[in-house]
């Protein structure tokens, strides 16, 4: 039971930190009608350094994640490089040690995927996944090294499949309003999903840094191949700031073992809260 609990804890942390929580309510959107979105906002264009802290049942810290975003030009094309580094807390290290790193190279033209890596270091589990996307053939090539065995495969279905990080950045770039649904085909290196992000409401939430207005997204996910983890979470929500920075600021998820709560840290690039607006205008 303990091993299962810790595995699910890691899954929750990874899923929430990439803002793609896995709920147990399947999406009703047909997989062949997922839109091809065109980005209209680039709030991360100047670079970002975001820090998140995760707690379990609101009682103790379980993990920290840092998200670095930079840009570069290669052969006349602009790319965004995103690196997510997640680690379990020192207390949790005694029973379950996690040091995971996820990277994504995103073409700024349309925010399309190019290259994705996922380095998993969880207790004795060591897995390295490297995936490259060919824009000409629309094909993903995946190399997954599980130490005991190495898997290599390609796939081109469903169409317009994005790695998890590219999907998050594309979602941040879109215009949306309460009641909208955003649909994405995604994969994290092994399984493929259909993600439905519903914009449930716009509300004021309380953070340690102050109150801020944010959109609440409720994710629902359908396992495309019927072999992943889409039933592991039964409640999840993600809040994205309603200001021009469109930052994921708070994330919550529940499993049968308890709740995970993640909040953006004061160590992140500063975001303007209601209290700061008030003090600035007085």
Q: Which two tokens stand for residue 237?
A: 């929500």
Task: Look at residue 60 in the predicted model and tell me its pLDDT.
Answer: 85
Q: What number of other Cβ atoms are within 10 A of residue 275's Cβ?
A: 12
At 8 the three-state DSSP class reads helix
Q: Are 181 and 198 in contact (CB under 8 A)?
A: yes
Q: Which two tokens stand for residue 2?
A: 């303990």
Give start and end residues of each alpha helix (H) in 140-186. Answer: 164-173
Distance CA 266, CA 173 (A): 23
Q: Is residue 281 part of a domain?
A: no
Tell me which residue has tokens 């995604």: 186
* Arithmetic mean of pLDDT, 83-106: 92
Q: Are 9 and 96 in contact (CB under 8 A)?
A: yes
The confidence band for 133, taking pLDDT boundaries of 50, 70 and 90, is very high
Q: Is residue 110 part of a domain?
A: yes
Q: Is residue 94 part of a domain?
A: yes
In the predicted structure, residue 119 carries a pLDDT above the cut 90: yes
pTM score of the predicted model: 0.83
Q: Is residue 44 part of a domain?
A: yes
Backbone φ and ψ for 144, nearest 5 degrees, come out as -120, 110
Expressed as residue numbers, the domain containing 179 is 2-270
Q: Of 199, 189, 206, whose CA–CA distance to 100 is shortest?
A: 189
Q: Are 117 and 130 in contact (CB under 8 A)?
A: yes
* Total structural domains within the chain: 1
Q: Over pLDDT 70: what percentage of the chain?
A: 78
Task: Look at residue 122 in the predicted model and tell me its pLDDT.
Answer: 87
Q: Of 106, 112, 124, 88, whose CA–CA distance to 12 is shortest?
A: 88
pLDDT tens digits, one per residue of 19-64: 333 332 334 444 457 889 999 999 999 999 999 999 988 788 889 9
- Pairing relation of β-strands 248-255 and 112-122? unpaired
Q: Is residue 28 part of a domain?
A: yes
Q: Is residue 10 part of a domain?
A: yes
Q: Are 196 and 141 in contact (CB under 8 A)?
A: no
Measured in residues, the chain has a length of 282
In the predicted structure, residue 280 carries a pLDDT above the cut 70: no
Q: Are 119 and 130 in contact (CB under 8 A)?
A: no
Task: Look at residue 200 in the predicted model and tell me its pLDDT.
Answer: 96
- Pairing relation of β-strands 192-207 and 181-187? antiparallel
Q: Is residue 130 part of a domain?
A: yes
Cα-only R_g, the chain:
18
Q: Is residue 275 part of a domain?
A: no
């Amino acid at each position: 039971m303990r091993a299962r609990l810790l595995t699910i804890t890691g899954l929750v942390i990874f899923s929430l930190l990439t803002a793609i929580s896995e709920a147990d309510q399947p999406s009703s959107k047909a997989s062949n009608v997922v839109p091809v979105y065109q980005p209209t906002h680039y709030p991360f264009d100047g670079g970002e350094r975001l820090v998140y802290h995760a707690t379990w049942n609101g009682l103790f810290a379980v993990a920290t994640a840092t998200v670095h975003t930079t840009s570069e030009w290669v052969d006349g094309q602009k790319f965004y490089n995103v690196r997510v580094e997640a680690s379990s807390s020192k207390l949790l290290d005694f029973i379950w040690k996690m040091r995971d790193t996820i990277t994504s190279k995103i073409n700024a033209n349309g925010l399309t995927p190019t290259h994705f890596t996922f380095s998993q270091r969880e207790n004795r589990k060591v897995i390295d996944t490297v995936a490259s996307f060919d824009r000409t053939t629309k094909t993903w090539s995946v190399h997954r090294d599980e130490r005991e065995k190495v898997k290599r495969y390609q796939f081109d279905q469903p169409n317009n499949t994005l790695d998890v990080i590219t999907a998050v950045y594309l979602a941040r770039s879109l215009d949306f309003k309460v009641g909208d649904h955003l649909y994405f085909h995604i994969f994290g290196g092994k399984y493929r999903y259909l993600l439905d992000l519903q914009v449930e409401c716009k509300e004021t939430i309380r953070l340690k840094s102050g109150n801020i207005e944010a959109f609440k997204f409720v994710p629902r996910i359908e396992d495309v191949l019927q072999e992943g983890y889409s039933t592991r979470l039964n409640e999840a929500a993600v809040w994205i700031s309603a200001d021009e920075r469109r930052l994921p600021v708070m994330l919550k998820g529940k499993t049968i073992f308890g709740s995970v709560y993640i909040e953006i840290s004061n160590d992140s690039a500063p975001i303007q809260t209601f209290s700061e607006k008030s003090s600035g205008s007085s």
